[in-house]
Structure 1
Amino acid sequence: MNELLKNPIFATHAVIAAGSATLATAISYPLDSLKVLVQVGSGSSKQLTGADVLNRVRTLSGSSDGREDKYVYVSEALLAGIASGAVESLVSSPFELIKIRAQVTSASRIPSSTPAVEKAVVSPLIAKLLPGYSRDIGALNNTVGLLTTLPTKHPNLVTALKDYPWMMTGSGRPPSVFDVKRPLDIISLEGWGAFWRGMRSGLARDCVFGGIFFSTWQFLHQAMVEWKAVGMNPPARSDEDVGPLSPLAVSLAAGFSGSLAAAASHGFDTAKSRSQCIVLPKYVSMERRFLKWQVPGKRFERWTGIHPADRNILFRGLGLRMARSGIASFVVVGGYLFAIDKLLSE
């Protein structure tokens, strides 16, 4: 059985079969609903037909989720926000990595270009991993000086050290962020997986943000609808009878929801941003896999991608992110409502 599960052909067929079954279920679900209602609604005295059930469903529940109006529960908004946040995290992670490294580069002190003589000593392996990179010769000489006390029979220790990828900077550390900010350099040195680095903290951040944002916004929206419905004569039977809300009030509610969601998810955002600013070459990742390197931290930190060294700085920049998310949510919703109003008025 284990050999069968490890077979790639079997796994491929299993995935395709599961997807096909899911698609078939989604397409045929309305017919299945009619079938069940015919089965449970028929009796010895009256036999229901498919047309009878269809007319009753359309009259009482409509063709959607069985509700008389378009009301959405707060719990449903929470689940929808979590799901949409997970999808957003997967799609936006590569673009976010490039953005963050460009932002860090703008505030970093980039060393002046080295002479052509120093550039010529870069080994072919390093030039392949990071084209155009120049090693810090001063750091390399300092490292070699620390090794001069060791007994060695190598004819040229300096040249030998230059051929190792972990001596790219001359100090045994990976290159800085401003040296690995272009997409081609990231792929060459760190691999394609670098675009999704910090995925655990990113998923936690976007799921928490999306869930709290949409559930809070739905709660505030329903509260405003009920407040507007107070004193109506006759009383409103559904939310649609209350009428549209003020665009400004809806936009303010969205801005407040965005700020609250940003505050709740800010710790994960800090962990995500800091992990994307770490240059992790492919050979280091390979060594970690060979050595079965364990992620440090407590269980919750490992699950959410928070490094234990960042525990005391997780809420740095909280006010800036709350302001940014609040303003962005207000502008998105307000701009959308304004554009819709202008388009419909024409």
Structure 2
Amino acid sequence: MESLWKENMVASHGIAAAASVTFGAALTHPLDSLKTLIQVGASSNQQLTTTQVLGRVVSISGSGGFYSGFGWSALGRISGLGARFGIYELLTAFYKDGREENYVYVSEALLAGIAGGAVEAVLSTPFELFKLRAQVSSAFRSPTSNTVEMKHCIAPTFSKLLRGYTPDKKAWDLTVGLLAALPTKNSNMVGALKEYPWMMTGTGRPPLAYEVQGPLNVISLEGWRALWMGLRSGIFRDSIFGGIFFSSWQFLHIAMLDWKAVGMDPPPSSIEEIGPVSLLAASLAAGFSSSVAAAASHCFDTAKCRTQCIVTPKYMSMEKKLLRWKVPGYWLERVSGISPLDRSILFRGIWLRMARSGLASFAIVGSYFLAVDHLT
């Protein structure tokens, strides 16, 4: 078995990477859930505390609620980190081609990390959408007014656009009551109103984020383009994160090699003679670099989370496109997908994200090198 692993180096590295990413995601997913709920529930006049979010999730979903959406998170992290490190390795191999030493400059690591982060955002955005919807559902109780009577009177449009959804009967009765006094030639006004998608909640508003979960519901109600909702802010976030992460890690790696070379006698003539840094040092450097990168890119992470929490049915998106609806905000906000209403809350949950990113990178790098040493 040991010889088999050594002969299949690519497979062993792939298995080690997937296992380490899954371990890091499982270790830090509760922190990610807390961070997401604080970002989504924040407003200019309200700031949710960690204690409030903890109490709400435990009272509604129990302790297991903190792992809502973990499957989507693990899949997104595996594909996203695979793309990030894969693009980085390809570009740095191009940079090092023809050099005598296996050396990458900090500026080169920055550019390669930016490119890797952009590709990561494209691949991981759909998984993050489903993960966020599941996390939000853990802090909100589903409507209890879905009676049998209301289920029997659901129009075909409801079942086509949103499978399994039942409108709020109290809100629907209120809407019908307001329209009862209007003169009409249609003998079945209530039945006709049920066919309009914008009446599916009984309030004239689209469903909430926790009511639209899973690929089938999202695609049927919001369309295929909704899978990449928040992509612009995601590209900004992951590009900044990848660039700062790899450049900081490379800077710390060079500093540790220089420190290690000071005590060597005779002095090394190349990087290869210094040897690798210790596993603990590499893991700590990765964790610190990840925390710094998370702090630098956090405002775009908040913008992406809040964008993905908005349910926009297909007919609304089509109306905005036909009417050439102008996106509000400054130029940078329009390009990066930041809402002007979120300017004062862009840094909510930053400490949780720094802790999650640092701990996850420390665990991923350490467990990856341990797994590789064990397998090979």
Q: Taking structure 1 as reference, are residues 152 and 343 closer, same or farther at Cα in structure 2, changes over 3 Å only?
A: closer
Q: Name the counterpart of 1:238.
A: 270
C-alpha displacement of 1:151: 5.2
One of 323, 326, 332 as aligned partner of 1:300 = 332
1:191 aligns with 2:226: no
Equivalent position SS for 1:235: coil
User: Aligned ranges for residues 4-19 of structure 1 at < 5 Å?
Assistant: none
What is the rounded CA distance, in whole Å, between the counterparts of 2:165 and 2:146 in structure 1? 10
What is the rounded CA distance, in whole Å, between the counterparts of 2:147 and 2:180 in structure 1? 26
What is the rounded CA distance, in whole Å, between the counterparts of 2:222 and 2:269 in structure 1? 59
Q: Name the counterpart of 1:76.
A: 108
The one-letter code sitting in structure 2 at the alignment partner of 1:78 is L
The one-letter code sitting in structure 1 at the alignment partner of 2:134 is A
C-alpha displacement of 1:258: 0.5
C-alpha displacement of 1:279: 0.9
Q: Name the counterpart of 1:116.
A: 148
Say which one has the larger Rg. Answer: 1
Deviations 1:160-217 (A, max 9, x none): 2211100000111111222210211111111111110000001011001000000000
Q: Name the counterpart of 1:89.
A: 121
What is the rounded CA distance, in whole Å, between the counterparts of 2:133 and 2:206 in structure 1? 15
C-alpha displacement of 1:132: 2.0
C-alpha displacement of 1:149: 5.6
The one-letter code sitting in structure 2 at the alignment partner of 1:89 is A
User: Aligned ranges for residues 51-200 of structure 1 at < 5 Å?
Assistant: 65-112=97-144, 114-148=146-180, 150=182, 152-200=184-232
Q: Name the counterpart of 2:16.
A: none
C-alpha displacement of 1:338: 1.9
One of 247, 257, 266 as aligned partner of 1:215 = 247
C-alpha displacement of 1:227: 1.2
- Structure 2 gaps of 5+ residues are 1-94
Q: Name the counterpart of 2:284.
A: 252
What is the rounded CA distance, in whole Å, between the counterparts of 1:306 and 1:108 in structure 2? 25
The one-letter code sitting in structure 2 at the alignment partner of 1:196 is W
What is the rounded CA distance, in whole Å, between the counterparts of 1:306 and 1:293 in structure 2? 16
Q: Which moved more, 1:211-220 or 1:140-149?
A: 140-149
Asked if structure 1 preserves the Cα contact closer than 8 Å seen for 2:145 and 2:168, the reply is no
TM-score (structure 2 length as normaliser)? 0.72
1:314 aligns with 2:346: yes
What is the rounded CA distance, in whole Å, between the counterparts of 2:154 and 2:343 in structure 1? 38
One of 353, 356, 365 as aligned partner of 1:324 = 356
The one-letter code sitting in structure 2 at the alignment partner of 1:216 is S
Equivalent position SS for 2:297: helix
- Higher relative contact order (Cα pairs below 8 Å, separated by 6+ residues): 2
TM-score (structure 1 length as normaliser)? 0.78
What is the rounded CA distance, in whole Å, between the counterparts of 1:247 and 1:131 in structure 2? 50
User: Aligned ranges for residues 38-57 of structure 1 at < 5 Å?
Assistant: none
Equivalent position SS for 1:193: helix
Asked if structure 1 preserves the Cα contact closer than 8 Å seen for 2:96 and 2:104, the reply is no
Deviations 1:90-119 (A, max 9, x none): 111111111111111111121125222211
The number of residue pairs the alignment matches comes to 282
1:203 aligns with 2:229: no
C-alpha displacement of 1:156: 3.7
Asked if structure 1 preserves the Cα contact closer than 8 Å seen for 2:169 and 2:202, the reply is yes
Equivalent position SS for 1:237: coil
What is the rounded CA distance, in whole Å, between the counterparts of 1:308 and 1:148 in structure 2? 39
C-alpha displacement of 1:153: 4.2
